[in-house]
Structure 1
Amino acid sequence: MIRITLPDGSAREVAPGTTPADIAAAIGPGLAKAAIAARVDGELRDLTRPLEGDAALALVTAKDEADALDLARHDYAHVLAEAVQNLWPGTQITFGPSTDDGFYYDFAPTAERGMFTEEELPLIEAEMRKIIAANEPLVREVWSRQQLIEKWQAEGELFKAEWAAELPEGEELTVYRAGTAPDAWLDMCRGPHLPSTGKLDPNAFKLMRVSGAYWRGDQRNPQLSRIYGTGWLNKKQLDAHLHRLEEAAKRDHRKLGQEMDLFHLQQEAHGSVFWHPKGYRIWRELEAYMRRKMDGAGYREIKTPQLMDIRQWEQSGHWGKYAENMFAVPDIVPEVDAEGAGATPKVAPDADWMAIKPMNCPAHVLVFKQGITSYRDLPIRLGEMGCCHRNEPHGALHGLMRVRQFTQDDAHIFCTESQVVEEVRAFCTLADEVYRDFGFSYHVKLALRPEKRFGSEADWDKAEQELRDAVAVAGMANDDYGWEELPGEGAFYAPKLEWHLTDAIGRTWQVGTIQGDRVLPERLDASFVGEDGGKHRPVMLHRAIFGSYERFIGILIEHYAGKLPLWLAPVQAVVATIVSEADDYARDVTAKLAAAGIRVETDLRNEKINYKIREHSLAKVPNLLVVGKREAEEDKVALRVLGSDQPQLILTLEEAIARLKEEATPPDLRG
């Protein structure tokens, strides 16, 4: 007999070969029906896989949403592959993993039929529902490597045969069969899976799109046809996801950025942003806001070079760990032709190489090192709106969210070990103020030491604990702030606290960080004179709140769907005329609004007022002040507020100015 321990601490003696499904049935019919998988000594397994020794057993149900979703999405991928091969025999299968919100599968269609199209997705969905309705058991089988190779070769599954041939010699491999018949469809897979296809909800998935892919991600290999789907546990979850996608499409910052005339991107500066006047006004307001916050928190702003000698980056460790993401340039010697008609660049044999900074921290250490610093001077907080460049892959670039040139609201705090916890706590408070000013809730996570890292274990132990202690003192190490620790996700030189914002449609964005670093001060020989007169290393805290201005602006545009808070709106009001007789009054209204500090424009075009209203609404202008003959005679305006349920408010000009002036005041300057 073997001893199986359940989560409540109770134990059962059962015969070897008993399955988790048997134990679920013994506990009760309700659990037997609800169970979909099992965790055996922490490992997720099939419900029908036999138990062979003493183990801790936890039965998984749909209430264990993370496990249940991953299982369901994996199964949807298998059902998709079976459906495609049912419909188009001869199609070869490759791989089909689950993803964060669904699944995909890569196929090699026959030459005769060609790549799949989106018009065929409903047909495939219908076949998938037939397979789900058939409630086929998903049966795990163990095969030898050679058996698999022979099977795949015999059936013309050349991609699967190639993969099987690369698996370790002598290792037992698993396949999953959709049914009990000897000729039932099967796929090579580690599992686990749900007990049967009928455990999937036929109304909780949708095939989304088709794209091209290359076998094993290499463009030198054959092209495949990839079908993407989204899969959930029930229709309610699917509908909510589709609604989020619809909302996300409406809020896409690239689309809104064009409609609002904020910025553009083009091939001539791939990965960098061309800011238009309206977009740069948002930037300037954010920059002014952040400067006020940093000034108030005791930071001193500096400016450091874009280019620094490669040797500096070698000493800091970035060149060894990060070189593939950096732009480096040699010292160029111009070579002028005999006629002096032009110069050809030529790299000198002994050229000094320079790198464009991907981050600001080494330069800030160099500023700190100027002169002699006493312990009495600490903490020193150096801030920079620092422009950085990183060589991101072309395929990873995405609007404002992933760029090659970006500007950080960056700062570094140099302090003693005894000051670390208080400095991090103060930063937690500052970050909280900023995010709440912008209407965000957030979660705080601690990213712990990665496998490849600099520094001693003792230093990592200390740095991680300091961050834990600071968050606890700030009152954020609890479920209200989604406190979580992330093993292995820290930087190579330091653990870090991360702030994950939640936007208006439930998406999360990782923005602010603070890192406790003892590595860089050591590598770059930063020191201060201690109370004992000796030389000591400071702790260096790397921190940012926005992260980068580009990405934060993109997040704001999508969070607010372009309807930015009035203090951030590039144009805060437009004065629009109904008739030309009101033109002079409109100019007077505009002048008085501008004198009150409102960013205002005038629309005197000879167009119908409904056309003007529609156009300015699409441009996300927050306030439209409509004026006609009556308004001019009575010194009033008809105020239309973007997104308001009220069609318009009739106000005196004085009332309108007071209202807009109050709403346009940045949150940190309000009483």
Structure 2
Amino acid sequence: MAEENKEFTFENEQYRQTYWHTCSHIMAQAVKRLWPEVKLAIGPSIKEGWYYDMDAPFAFTPDHMAQIEAEMKKICKEKLKLERFELPREEAIKFMEEKNEPYKVELIQDLPGDAHISFYKQGEFTDLCAGPHLDSTGRVKGNALKLLTCNAAYWRGDSNRETLQRIYGIAFPKKDELDAYLERLEEAKRRDHRKLGRELGLFMTSDLVGKGMPMFLPKGYTVWQILENYIKEKERKLGYQHVMTPCVGTVDLYRTSGHWDHYKENMFPAMEVEDESFVLRPMNCPHHMMIYANRPHSYRQLPVRIGEVAHDFRFEASGTLKGIERARHFCQNDAHLFVTPDQIKDEVAAVCDLIFDVYKDFNITDYRCVLSLRDPADKKKYHDDDEMWNKAESALREVLTELGIHFTEEIGEAAFYGPKLDVNVKPAVGGEYTLSTCQLDFCLPAKFHLQYADKNGEEQTPVVLHRAILGSLDRFMAYLIEETMGAFPCWLAPVQVKVLPVTDRAAEYAREISSYLDDHGFRVEVDERNEKIGKKIRETTLEKVPFMLVVGDRDMENKTVSVRTRAGEDLGAMSLEDFAAKLRDIVDNKTDK
């Protein structure tokens, strides 16, 4: 009986989507009641809630949204029955033309001539829809629904078509579930790396520079450099060789790799220069293939591990851009490992060890491993070689199993050239996303005719592991900002110590302290403003600086520093040497205590 009940609860994905889809119709009905002149486009359920695209002769404001919500609640109370019916294509077109719904007409015209078109009717309102829906508007709890935002959206995703308004909504069976969801949204706003990045002076954007082209300010670039040096040092100890390659390549390079055929829509348009076509690179593997091909290799030299923190460019849709988490310019912590088939297991194991070692340093514990496979039904999306795919997928699955790594499998998430291990993190707010990846590739080495001489002197094709530990440094930094709310661990903080003189008399002593700490490799600032010490402490706390050294007359006399933390702890007075030793231990061990 309990299992049957779950069928009609939000634990059931199908029921949840049906519930939200019904809400989209209720919202459309409310809008048409209030403003009959509004034209309807599409209104699907999505991962969380629903949206409806509409063509209105005015911009929807918060006041409009409140009116729509109120009308939706009325419709829920009316308990209108949802009735499905079908019409032949031509009758369906005429039906929508009479209702003056041009977007619906266009959708129907794209369907086959012999199609029977389904509609759903609730009270005076009828909408084109394949369904399914709840049987009554009364099934939706009016006090547990909320309209969230209204954004611009192109009709059918085409920037050359009409610009519509997209209203998003969410609903739950119980009001307390809605309240909890809205609180999570507020928490997400508080943690939003775009907000914190602006407040803490980490990065900025400018429409004049270009959408999706973030610029790192001094403090943000300090964090960025620390991350770069951190991962490069770990890689060097594991035998990686770092290179630097250009941010552009010829179209022919990407035709050879297959990116031009499989990834062109995500690339910036080609630039014509001296009868050659160049593109901004979306990834670095073709360049690294050419570096490997630069000289002959013996099996004794493999594996060859080529690493680079590389600038890449992808033409992401403007609606998907999000600060430094998803941008059109970013820097990948990229590497390509050229290995023999016998080395695959050991090298994948080493990559996984590196991933999990890094996660320990950053206290990342909420993650899961996914084996991302191709979708065999979508041959256009992937390199077309069934034998290669079967071999690569089986090899990676076998390696992960032998290593004892727990993973799930997801169809359709592979790279176009091969399967991959994705490590997906669950951030403090929002849905999970991939942070680290390791991809197994039999495809590109063959395309670029890469070779090595085996122990018999015969030419063989190496296998390539594409791997990124921090993913892109930009996204990794966005993740850290939101996880820590800008309070970076001390070893990573752009300013580790701020010296706060209580009076002008202590300013010179404060500068001596700063110089001492700077000489010992710490990042330190002095606040010499003519402000009360309470204000200095408050503002330094808001800046998320790990340690404050408050120095006054007594500290000058005793050659001590009074130590406070950003958490509000007063650690008392200690010698500068003792504080420096304490700070060194904290930084070296990557702790905050």
TM-score, normalised to structure 2, is 0.92
**What SS does structure 2 have at the residue aligned with 1:547?**
strand
- Give runs of aligned pairs for residues 9-28 of structure 1, distance below 5 A: none
Partner of 1:277: 218
Q: Distance in 2 between matches of 1:312 and 1:388?
A: 15
One of 15, 20, 23 as aligned partner of 1:76:
23
Q: Distance in 1 between matches of 2:96 and 2:273?
A: 56
- Give runs of aligned pairs for residues 170-569 of structure 1, distance below 5 A: 170-178=114-122, 184-218=124-158, 221-270=161-210, 271-324=212-265, 325-326=267-268, 328-332=270-274, 351-440=275-364, 441-450=366-375, 451=378, 452=380, 453-477=382-406, 483-505=407-429, 507-569=431-493
Partner of 2:574: 652
Contact 1:597 1:661 in 2 (8 A): no
Partner of 1:145: 89
Cα deviation digits, residues 365-415 of structure 1 (max 9, x gap): 222223332222222211112222334444543321223332211111111
Partner of 2:68: 124
**What SS does structure 2 have at the residue aligned with 1:459?**
helix
**What SS does structure 2 have at the residue aligned with 1:122?**
helix
Contact 2:564 2:572 in 1 (8 A): no
**What SS does structure 2 have at the residue aligned with 1:365?**
helix
**What SS does structure 2 have at the residue aligned with 1:160?**
helix
Q: Distance in 1 between matches of 2:583 and 2:133?
A: 59
Partner of 1:639: 563
Matched residues, percent identical? 39
Q: Distance in 2 between matches of 1:304 and 1:393?
A: 26
**Runs of 4+ displaced beyond 6 Å:** none
Question: Which sits farther off after the overlay, 433-442 or 281-290?
Answer: 433-442
Cα deviation digits, residues 420-451 of structure 1 (max 9, x gap): 12211221121111122212221111221242
Contact 1:72 1:233 in 2 (8 A): no
The alpha carbon displacement at 1:635 in A equals: 3.4
Q: Distance in 1 between matches of 2:200 and 2:3?
A: 55
Cα deviation digits, residues 549-593 of structure 1 (max 9, x gap): 122212211221111111111100101011222223322322332
Contact 2:303 2:343 in 1 (8 A): yes
Q: Distance in 2 between matches of 1:549 and 1:169?
A: 51
Contact 1:378 1:414 in 2 (8 A): yes
Contact 2:10 2:16 in 1 (8 A): no
Cα deviation digits, residues 325-359 of structure 1 (max 9, x gap): 04543334xxxxxxxxxxxxxxxxxx233444332
Contact 2:28 2:52 in 1 (8 A): yes
Structure 2 letter corresponding to 1:263: F
Q: Distance in 2 between matches of 1:388 and 1:224?
A: 32
**What SS does structure 1 have at the residue aligned with 2:471?**
coil
Q: Distance in 2 between matches of 1:463 and 1:505?
A: 35
Q: Distance in 2 between matches of 1:391 and 1:506?
A: 24
Distance 1:456 1:165, change over 3 A: closer
Distance 1:487 1:107, change over 3 A: same
Question: Which sits farther off after the overlay, 599-608 or 146-155?
Answer: 146-155
Q: Distance in 2 between matches of 1:417 and 1:302?
A: 24
Contact 1:204 1:233 in 2 (8 A): yes
Distance 1:234 1:444, change over 3 A: farther
Partner of 1:345: none
Question: Which sits farther off after the overlay, 487-496 or 259-268?
Answer: 259-268
Distance 1:604 1:266, change over 3 A: same
Partner of 2:587: 664
CA RMSD of aligned residues (A): 2.5
Contact 2:374 2:414 in 1 (8 A): yes
Distance 1:129 1:362, change over 3 A: same
Q: Distance in 2 between matches of 1:471 and 1:651?
A: 53
Q: How many residues align?
A: 584
Distance 1:186 1:490, change over 3 A: same
Unaligned regions of 5+ residues in structure 1, if any?
1-27, 36-59, 333-350, 478-482
Cα deviation digits, residues 220-267 of structure 1 (max 9, x gap): 555544322123343343223322222222222222222222222224
Q: Distance in 1 between matches of 2:179 and 2:499?
A: 41
The alpha carbon displacement at 1:63 in A equals: 5.4
Partner of 1:97: 44
Structure 1 letter corresponding to 2:247: Q
Unaligned regions of 5+ residues in structure 2, if any?
none
The alpha carbon displacement at 1:294 in A equals: 0.7
Question: Which sits farther off after the overlay, 215-224 or 227-236?
Answer: 215-224
Contact 1:77 1:105 in 2 (8 A): yes
